[in-house]
């Protein structure tokens, strides 16, 4: 994957994750969320951080799938030819 596509994936997903986190944590208090790890007491900042990275992963996956679907027929066919002519 080239650097241009990586930027197309990571930058918009970063912005979307920031907006999603603000909207989500405006509605839900991090200390009142039912978390699977009840024994560990995490600070609000830690929960905000984990939430941001989860939102970023989901948004990046969505952006990556969009980039995958935007490939032209030439790119798809070229990739198939390169795989067929590769030495075993």
Is position 55 within any domain? Answer: yes
Is position 33 within any domain? Answer: no
Is position 36 within any domain? Answer: no
Confidence class for position 21, pLDDT limits 50, 70, 90: very high
Is position 74 within any domain? Answer: yes
Is position 34 within any domain? Answer: no
Range of 24's domain? 3-28+41-84
pLDDT at position 17 is 96
Say how many C-beta atoms besides its own lie within 10 A of residue 53's C-beta: 12
Beta-carbon contacts of 13 under 8 Å, excluding residues fewer than 6 positions away, are: 56, 59, 60, 62, 63
What domain count does the chain have?
A: 1
Asked whether the whole model's pTM tops 0.85, one would answer no
Is position 60 within any domain? Answer: yes
Is position 80 within any domain? Answer: yes
Q: What is the mean pLDDT of the chain?
A: 84
């Amino acid at each position: 994957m080239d650097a241009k596509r990586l930027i197309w994936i990571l930058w918009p997903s970063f912005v979307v994750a920031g907006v999603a986190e603000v909207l989500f944590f405006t509605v839900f208090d991090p200390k009142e969320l039912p978390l699977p790890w009840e024994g560990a007491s995490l600070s609000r900042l830690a929960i905000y951080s984990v939430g941001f990275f989860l939102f970023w992963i989901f948004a990046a996956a969505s952006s990556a799938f969009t980039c995958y679907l935007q490939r032209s027929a030439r790119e798809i066919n070229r990739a198939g030819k390169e795989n067929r002519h590769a030495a075993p």
